[in-house]
Structure 1
Amino acid sequence: MAEKPEPVRVLYCGVCGLPAEYCEFGPDFEKCKPWLLQHAPDLYPDLVKDANAKEADKLSDKLKATGFAPVSTGDGASTDGAASSGAPASKEEEVKRLPGGKIKKKEKPEVIIEKVVRNRRKCITTVKGLDLFGIKLGDASKKLGKKFATGASVVKGPTEKDQIDVQGDIAYDVVEFITDTWPDSRL
């Protein structure tokens, strides 16, 4: 004889009220994380790993504060801080790390030219970074507008820096014009 089917038991989040497996799509996933770690650790194993990593970081910070953290000797070996010869550890090169382990490079002044397509046919060419070379953006937009017989204006970009928007697809032609007009700018 066939077994009688059992009803499905659904675990609902105590914070947002959604089923636990849908909390990540809810409005307050950050608030739900502690509850999920305690009540449903098998649904989100990445949260458990992150929590363990944070605890390990806190422990290593406490060890560094007390002076028992390992210090690198430069040859790959390490000694604990109490056994060091009293010389301060060499300063590590200060580099800004971004999420995902990427390293942010020092910004070099450069001109960036982008083509943005709107309404499937119309294009806008944006020129960013001319002001880093001492070029007045108002004068540059006038010259670009005259050269290509199109509208050009100085606008604030998404990063709150000024850029030049030129109507039309002139991305390839504007490179030659900029290098001829202002030879010291790097594209």
Structure 2
Amino acid sequence: MAAEKPQPVQVPYCQVCTLPAEYCEFGRDFEKCKPWLIRNVPNLYPHLLQEANDKEAEKLSEQLQGSGISPAGSPAATAGEPSASKQEDVKRLPGGKIKRKEKQEVVIEKIVRNKRKCITTVKGLELFGIKLSDASKKFGKKFATGASVVKGPTEKDQIDVQGDIAYDVVDFIRETWAEVPESAIFFIEDGKRVSAA
């Protein structure tokens, strides 16, 4: 009796990113691949199918609430609903993630390194329409020190200025940029937020 010849393995390739379907999650377009994966290879990513079902249920409940009918069938109560301004603070991103609008505030923090050298970080100037590269040049000229725009720990740009100039920076911001109100400037001291006003 002759041994059976093994059959070749059929590998499904994603039509979006052209990777084998089981590698889509490691590609850069995984969000774009999800619909194709759900339709063509649902057994590889069962959690995607569950997410899709949850999103459909969420959309349906939102449509019912928008029409004034609660999911139970009775008219929705307006007293318990969040106000319109509260809803404006929340923005839905693709994939169902929620993004909250950032408060417009400038946060100044002094970071000590090597027990004697200090760096003063300024975060949030871009929320007032100030270009960070221009602001860092102004800080560097005013305080005769190095200043640069860097990515912070939360992947947002911030300005790092060499030296312990946290209190002088507040006065400089007030003089230079009138659009930044005094009440929107805060310090981080000993892990606590303190208003600069």
TM-score, normalization by structure 1: 0.53
Cα RMSD after superposing both structures: 4.7
Determine the structure 2 residue equivalent to 1:178: 166
Determine the structure 1 residue equivalent to 2:42: 41
Determine the structure 2 residue equivalent to 1:74: none
- Give, in whole Å, the separation in 1 of the partners of 2:157 and 2:26: 34
- Give, in whole Å, the separation in 1 of the partners of 2:156 and 2:27: 31
Change (3 A) 1:164 1:37: closer
Alignment of 1:67-106 (within 5 A): 67-70=68-71, 80-82=73-75, 88-92=78-82, 94=86, 95-96=89-90, 106=103
Determine the structure 1 residue equivalent to 2:192: none
Change (3 A) 1:179 1:17: closer
Q: Is the 8 A contact 1:12 1:20 kept in 2?
A: yes
Q: Is the 8 A contact 2:120 2:161 kept in 1?
A: yes
Gaps of 5+ in 2: 129-134, 172-181, 188-197
Q: Is the 8 A contact 2:108 2:123 kept in 1?
A: yes
- Give, in whole Å, the separation in 1 of the partners of 2:146 and 2:107: 20
Q: Is the 8 A contact 1:13 1:32 kept in 2?
A: no
Gaps of 5+ in 1: 71-78, 117-122, 146-150
Deviation of 1:69 after TM superposition, in Å, equals 1.4
Counterpart check, 1:152 vs 2:146: yes
Q: Which structure has the larger Rg over C-alpha atoms?
A: 1
Q: Is the 8 A contact 2:42 2:49 kept in 1?
A: yes
TM-score, normalization by structure 2: 0.51
Q: Is the 8 A contact 1:141 1:164 kept in 2?
A: no
How many residue pairs match? The answer is: 152
1:122-162 deviation line (CA, Å, top 9, x unaligned) = x9935315979xxxx778645644xxxxx334x55559977
